[in-house]
Amino acid sequence: MTTFDIPTTSRAAVLTEHGAPLELREVPVPQELEAGALLVRIEAATVCGSDLHLWDGSLAGSQALDLPVIPGHEMVGSIIAFGDGAERDTFGAPLKLGDRICFTHASCGQCDHCRFDNQPTLCTNRQYYMFTNCSRPPYLVGGFSEYVYVFPNSGRVRVPDEVPTSWASAASCALRTVVHSFERIGKLNPWDTVVIQGAGPLGLFATALADHLGAGRIVTIGAPDDRLAIAKQYGATDVVSVFEHPEPDDRVAAVRSILDGAGAEVVFEFSGARTAFTEGLGMIKEGGRYMVTGQIDGPGKEVPVRPGFITRQQLTIMGTWSGHIAEYRKALHFMKIARDTYDFGALVPNRYALEDATEALSRMRAQEDIKPVITPHGTGGS
Ligand SMILES: [Zn+2]
Ligand SMILES: [Zn+2]
186-233 pLDDT, tens digit each: 999 999 999 999 999 999 999 999 999 999 999 999 999 999 999 999
Query: Of the bound ligands, which one is closest to the alpha carbon of residue 169?
Result: 1
pLDDT at position 88 is: 98
Residue 265: inside a domain: yes
Mind listing the pLDDT tens digit for each residue in 120-142? 999 999 999 999 999 999 999 99
Mind listing the pLDDT tens digit for each residue in 1-59? 678 889 999 999 999 999 999 999 999 999 999 999 999 999 999 999 999 999 999 88
pLDDT at position 64 is: 77
Q: Are 255 and 264 in contact (CB under 8 A)?
A: yes
Q: What's the pLDDT band for 336 if we cut at 50, 70, 90?
A: very high
Q: How far is CA 178 from CA 2, 86, 147, 201, 362, in A?
A: 35, 28, 27, 10, 24
pLDDT at position 380 is: 66
DSSP collapsed to 3 states, the chain: CEECCCCCEEEEEEECCCCCCCEEEEEECCCCCCCCCEEEEEEEEECCHHHHHHHHCHHHHCCCCCCCECCCCEEEEEEEEECCCCCECCCCCECCCCCEEEEEEECCCCCHHHHCCCCHHHCCCCECCCCCCCCCCCCCCCCCECEEEECCCEEEEECCCCCCHHHHHHHHHHHHHHHHHHHHHCCCCCCCEEEEECCCHHHHHHHHHHHHCCCCEEEEEECCHHHHHHHHHCCCCEEEECCCCCCHHHHHHHHHHHCCCCCEEEEEECCCCCCHHHHHHCCEEEEEEEEECCCCCCCCCCCCCCHHHHHHCCCEEEECCCCCHHHHHHHHHHHHHHCCCCCHHHHCCCEECHHHHHHHHHHHHCCCCCCCEECCCCCCCC
Residue 324: inside a domain: no
C-alpha 336 to ligand 2 mean position (Å): 30
Q: How many domains does the chain have?
A: 2
Query: Does 138 lie in the same domain as 24?
Result: yes
Q: Are 51 and 291 in contact (CB under 8 A)?
A: no
Nearest to 103 by CA among 131, 134, 74: 74
Residue 57: inside a domain: yes
pLDDT at position 310 is: 97
- To the nearest whole percent, how much of the chain has pLDDT over 90? 93
Residue 278: inside a domain: yes
**Residues with a beta carbon under 5 angstroms from ion ligand 2:** 107-108, 111, 114, 123
Query: Does 262 lie in the same domain as 149?
Result: no
Average pLDDT value for residue range 82-98: 97
Cis peptide preceding 68, ω within 30 of 0: yes
Q: What's the pLDDT band for 338 if we cut at 50, 70, 90?
A: very high
Residue 30: inside a domain: yes
For residue 146, the domain's CATH number is 3.90.180.10
Average pLDDT value for residue range 354-369: 97
Residue 253: inside a domain: yes
Mind listing the pLDDT tens digit for each residue in 280-292? 999 999 999 999 9
C-alpha 48 to ligand 1 mean position (Å): 5
For residue 280, the domain's CATH number is 3.40.50.720
Q: How far is CA 71 from CA 104, 328, 343, in A?
A: 15, 20, 27
**Residues with a beta carbon under 5 angstroms from ion ligand 1:** 48, 50, 173
Query: Does 138 lie in the same domain as 23?
Result: yes
Q: How far is CA 202 from CA 221, 287, 321, 322, in A?
A: 12, 25, 13, 12
Quickly count: other Cβ atoms within 10 Å of residue 366's Cβ: 8
Query: Does 203 lie in the same domain as 66?
Result: no
What is the sign of the dihedral through the CA atoms of 233, 236, 238 and 242? negative
Q: What spatial distance separates the first Cα and last Cα of the chain, rounded to whole Å?
A: 29
- Residue 48, CB-side half-sphere exposure with 13 Å CA sphere: 30
Give the residue from 275, 301, 319 where a domain finishes.
Answer: 319
Give the residue from 273, 298, 319 where a domain finishes.
Answer: 319
Query: Does 154 lie in the same domain as 193?
Result: no
Residue 379: inside a domain: no
C-alpha 139 to ligand 1 mean position (Å): 20
Query: Of the bound ligands, which one is closest to the alpha carbon of residue 128?
Result: 1
Query: Does 142 lie in the same domain as 41?
Result: yes
Average pLDDT value for residue range 302-313: 95
Query: Does 150 lie in the same domain as 45?
Result: yes
C-alpha 174 to ligand 1 mean position (Å): 6
Residue 329 has pLDDT above 80, yes or no: yes
Mind listing the pLDDT tens digit for each residue in 52-77? 999 999 887 777 788 999 999 999 99
Nearest to 279 by CA among 252, 308, 244, 250: 252
Query: Does 306 lie in the same domain as 233?
Result: yes
Query: Does 127 lie in the same domain as 186?
Result: no
C-alpha 357 to ligand 1 mean position (Å): 16
- To the nearest whole percent, how much of the chain has pLDDT over 70? 99
Query: Does 259 lie in the same domain as 142?
Result: no
C-alpha 205 to ligand 1 mean position (Å): 13
C-alpha 121 to ligand 2 mean position (Å): 8
pLDDT at position 379 is: 67
pLDDT at position 300 is: 85
pTM of the model: 0.97
C-alpha 47 to ligand 2 mean position (Å): 26
Query: Does 239 lie in the same domain as 267?
Result: yes
Could you tell me the residue range of the domain that residue 193 belongs to? 178-319
Residue 25: inside a domain: yes
Q: Are 322 and 62 in contact (CB under 8 A)?
A: no
C-alpha 96 to ligand 2 mean position (Å): 28
Query: Does 57 lie in the same domain as 120?
Result: yes
Residue 352 has pLDDT above 90, yes or no: yes
Mean of the per-residue pLDDT values for the chain?
A: 96
* Euclidean distance between CA atoms 82 and 95, whole angstroms: 9
C-alpha 362 to ligand 1 mean position (Å): 16
Query: Of the bound ligands, which one is closest to the alpha carbon of residue 131?
Result: 1
